[in-house]
Structure 1
């Protein structure tokens, strides 16, 4: 049972690093009056090689921090924690939590024409089979093919979203999916949209890339209903940003990726 949602309270968003800024960007676009408190767990990025127990612990620590700030809802913008920790967080806190997996799956099912969908993500996300289970539940006839892309998050966190190294990684990771004949690809990590030009070039124009951020924020908008803050618009710099690692690095890379100032970034140890 959720406590009543206060219209002027902020929205919490968290991720392992800069990836969740793709969701922030969509909130700024669709809900420009909302205040956002963002947490990037840069001291522990990448999440891709962590086990479920570690991911739940990290997500719980971040959620506790955001809830203490008085947020009215939390977007878990990390597919790895959405896959293994989301239900735990929903049971533990009296604040609504939204993940990114359902949005990606529904977007892919709406887009595919041949019923062959690919999902690229971190190892915990792929091994959880969360996307595949949901896709099969919604459309038993769909074929879902997963591919772990372990280097993508470190590349984005380093700001290397283009260049020979990134292109080579994309070619190696995506080759098996091309052989499967997929026509739709879920970007199953919020870091990956920053690599969309490289991924799109590798996959070709016949493959639709699905960025879950848009559908996730549509779900958030529906959840808030009449409690949407319209005291805006706000810029990226008007929101609050916290990281567990180096705030200077996060600010530099984040601003490069989104093409706008983030304002002040604070360090918050958990």
Structure 2
């Protein structure tokens, strides 16, 4: 029987559930242990040092629960802390920034890419760097006209506008993603992106797919919204195939008392804050209801 791999995921709150949904829909032979650091949400205004510490605590907890792969389902942590976390843990990790930037490069038609993200992610300029890196590594637009013009030096492909959206995460965590307040704030945030004529918009925070219908209505059908979760799933598929083929990473022994000893489950949920609020908001997103959420304090 094929080994059922355990994926560990962490985010500042409910946002990472958007990534989890894509994984569960497309990968039937995995289990997911999810940790939402809801006691310390939002991460968007945290320092790099704090984000590294939070990441270390989250990853150590997930490994203790039997995780064999870590998905850093938080763009802010991916943009600032992931390189250091990879140095400190001998476990494969997938972040959000590189897959999202690569997908945006492939899907743009005009070469004008936009980004909405937390303040920390915008300041890091990680997405701008990854767009350039993706192009240098051989990624190119699916659109043949733009691809040919770019290859001949007649057109540019770049992230032309990054907009910080600090109010989105608190609204989403409060279950107000489709409120009149959210719609008004979204119009204000999107104005600079519309003024820069972007044709693709990267959702640079895993919370933002909650508000995607509001964003799409404001932007119109001519702007393609990029959810990096789709690209993360493709990268995860490749990684799991390598593991099954005897690649760099083999099976991880589950510690005594870990969730691996429990049968007939696909997902386990842990939070550092209020389990009830997480369950309430999370149930609006996932097709399978969240029945049990356990409160834990990583690092203690």
Same fold (TM over 0.5): yes
Aligned counterpart, 1:204: 220
Q: RMSD of the TM alignment (CA)? A: 1.8
SS at match of 1:11: strand
The whole-number CA distance in structure 2 between the counterparts of 1:68 and 1:136 is 37
Match of 1:243 among 248, 271, 275: 271
Aligned counterpart, 1:232: none
Aligned counterpart, 2:186: 170
SS at match of 1:256: coil
Instruction: Give a deviation string over 1:163-207, Cα, whole Å, max 9, x none.
Output: 210100100000000000000000000000111100001111100
Aligned counterpart, 1:216: 232
The whole-number CA distance in structure 1 between the counterparts of 2:35 and 2:209 is 19
Q: 1:138 to 1:33 in 2, by over 3 A?
A: closer
Report the Cα offset of residue 227 of structure 1: 4.8
Aligned counterpart, 1:233: none
Q: Check conservation: 1:237, 1:261, Cα contact below 8 A.
A: no
The whole-number CA distance in structure 1 between the counterparts of 2:96 and 2:53 is 19
Q: Check conservation: 1:238, 1:263, Cα contact below 8 A.
A: no
Aligned counterpart, 2:108: 112
Q: Check conservation: 2:35, 2:270, Cα contact below 8 A.
A: yes
Match of 2:167 among 141, 151, 154: 151
Aligned counterpart, 2:289: 261
Match of 2:210 among 175, 194, 198: 194
Report the Cα offset of residue 103 of structure 1: 1.1
Alignment of 1:115-134 (within 5 A): 115-134=111-130
The whole-number CA distance in structure 2 between the counterparts of 1:73 and 1:86 is 14
The whole-number CA distance in structure 2 between the counterparts of 1:178 and 1:237 is 44
Q: Which has the larger radius of gyration?
A: 2
Extract unaligned runs of 5+ from structure 1: 1-5, 230-235
Q: Check conservation: 2:101, 2:134, Cα contact below 8 A.
A: no
2:42 is aligned with 1:46:
yes
Aligned residue pairs, count: 259
SS at match of 2:39: coil
Q: 1:47 to 1:179 in 2, by over 3 A?
A: same
The whole-number CA distance in structure 1 between the counterparts of 2:216 and 2:99 is 20
Report the Cα offset of residue 9 of structure 1: 4.0
Alignment of 1:59-98 (within 5 A): 59-98=55-94
Q: Check conservation: 2:4, 2:29, Cα contact below 8 A.
A: no
Q: Check conservation: 1:186, 1:210, Cα contact below 8 A.
A: yes
Q: Check conservation: 2:31, 2:265, Cα contact below 8 A.
A: no
Report the Cα offset of residue 258 of structure 1: 2.5
Match of 1:139 among 109, 115, 135: 135
Tell me the TM-score normalised to structure 1 length: 0.92
Q: 1:80 to 1:197 in 2, by over 3 A?
A: same
Q: Check conservation: 1:108, 1:117, Cα contact below 8 A.
A: yes
Q: Check conservation: 1:82, 1:100, Cα contact below 8 A.
A: yes
Q: Check conservation: 1:7, 1:227, Cα contact below 8 A.
A: no
Q: Check conservation: 1:155, 1:161, Cα contact below 8 A.
A: yes
Extract unaligned runs of 5+ from structure 2: 137-155, 245-250, 252-263
